[in-house]
Structure 1
Amino acid sequence: MLFEKNSRIVFAGDSVTDVGRDYHAIPAGWGSFGDGYVSQINSLLTAVYPDKEIMVVNKGVSGDNIALMANRWDNDVLAMEPDYVSIMIGVNDVWRFFDAPFQQLQAPNIVSQDLYEKTYRELIAKTQPSVKQMMIMSPFMIEPNRQDPMRHMVDAYRRIAERLARENHLIYVDVQAAVDHFLTQQSSYILTSDRVHPNVQGHMLVARTWLQTLGFDWERSTFDDH
């Protein structure tokens, strides 16, 4: 697996990353992980790689789009002095086009594809020199119909994230591909009630995809000091 002993991983994103974390908790302490994929990843890293003593920090904030996340980046992410940063952002950037047409005051929070790409590029350029690696997780929607207007737009933002990951030699975690694979067998209602926020099973799918991409050894039975 990629991570060295005492690695520090910061996860940044929106509500799919946040999932009820305690904002006042000590980083990597009780209540700090939330109830989603970040907590599941932390639990599996702790259980299978106890000798690595990996620190997982959840800095997801519900409601964030990429512009809001960028505003808090220095204090919430870089201040943690991470070795690795994992980002999943974009679904709210899309969702506001669909759920806020009657909320004129939301207009400044509308993030175009051009602004999404520009802001993402700036975050990568700011972060990459000070970390060992970054992981770009695809924004995703738990919707099998790729012609659905919102799913179609999520795919456009997802392609931007993937392209930026490839251009900057970052690790790309294709969550949407894993979701689409699942949806060939089961309904979206098994993973979500609103096509955006995963339930426990949905978060496990996200966690498993991230861990597999990072080379997690599910059969590991010996430690590095033995």
Structure 2
Amino acid sequence: MGVIVFLGDSITDAGRTTSCPPLGNGYVKGFADSVSQNWNVLNQGVDGYITERIAEDLHKDCIAFHPNYVSILVGINDVGLIAEADTTEHEKLYMLEDSIRAYHEMLFDLSRETQAEIITLEPFIFPKDGKYENWVPWQKKMSKNIRKLARNYHARFISVQEPLNREIERLGHDAITTDCIHLTAKGHEILAKIVRDGFGL
């Protein structure tokens, strides 16, 4: 049986560490329900995690399971910390560099210590009525850097922001996101399909 590990923050966690073990009630569960039983799907997302924390826990949360596939959705908590930091633009760029360095470490360790195919998912944000607008430039910078790292490591990069934006235009903001960051059940359903199509399983 093959192993697929999902790494991420609260969007991946989706309740799996509190009330809905082991896969949570979000896109990972939707993905698992749609693939063959030949795959053992593990949700290792943790609410509140930033990129550095996932990099620190990579061995016990991922590499130890000898995965065939690894999916990574992280970065929006990093973006929030950067955007809301009471510091200079120059210092914020240093904070972004720290996050990208941690992401680089993850991909380096995965490429060195596993044979897994790596899927990187774009972190996303859905501003409304001015809320979280200041996060958008940093989300774009984060996404651009993740895309570049994925290319350097021959990993897949799955664009998520624009597909979800199109669904917001079609269905309305509140149909997709609960708070401009997290997803509704419908949003998770759509993300599960995006991820499944990206895996190509």
- TM-score normalized with structure 1 length: 0.78
Query: Per-residue displacement from partner, 1:29-88 (whole Å, max 9, x unpaired)?
Result: x8210011000000111xxx34xx111000000000001111211111111221111101
Residue 137 (structure 2) pairs with residue 157 (structure 1): no
Equivalent-residue separation in structure 2 for 1:112 and 1:134 (angstroms): 25
Aligned twin of 2:89: none
Q: 2:22 aligns with which of 17, 32, 39?
A: 32
Q: 1:131 aligns with which of 112, 115, 122?
A: 115
Aligned twin of 1:112: 95
Report the identity percentage.
Answer: 26
2:182 is paired with a residue whose SS is coil
Equivalent-residue separation in structure 2 for 1:13 and 1:175 (angstroms): 14
Q: 1:208 aligns with which of 173, 185, 193?
A: 193
CA shift in 2, pair 1:140/1:170, >3 Å: same
User: Which 10-residue stretch deviates more, 174-183 or 201-210?
Assistant: 174-183
1:169 is paired with a residue whose SS is coil
Which of structure 1's runs of 4+ aligned residues deviate more than 3 A?
97-101
Q: 1:11 aligns with which of 2, 6, 15?
A: 6
Equivalent-residue separation in structure 2 for 1:166 and 1:97 (angstroms): 24
RMSD between aligned residues: 2.3
Q: Which runs of 5+ in 2 are unaligned?
A: 87-92
CA shift in 2, pair 1:132/1:71, >3 Å: closer
Equivalent-residue separation in structure 2 for 1:197 and 1:40 (angstroms): 16
Contact in 1 for aligned 2:82/2:138 (Cα 8 Å): no
Higher helix share: 2
Query: Per-residue displacement from partner, 1:180-200 (whole Å, max 9, x unpaired)?
Result: 222332322111121111010
CA shift in 2, pair 1:189/1:124, >3 Å: same
1:112 is paired with a residue whose SS is helix
Q: CA deviation at 1:99?
A: 5.5
Contact in 2 for aligned 1:85/1:134 (Cα 8 Å): yes
Aligned twin of 2:75: 90
State how many pairs are aligned.
192
Contact in 2 for aligned 1:93/1:111 (Cα 8 Å): no
Contact in 1 for aligned 2:79/2:138 (Cα 8 Å): yes
Q: Which runs of 5+ in 1 are unaligned?
A: 1-5, 102-109, 217-226
Whose Rg is larger?
Answer: 1
- TM-score normalized with structure 2 length: 0.87
Equivalent-residue separation in structure 2 for 1:202 and 1:184 (angstroms): 13
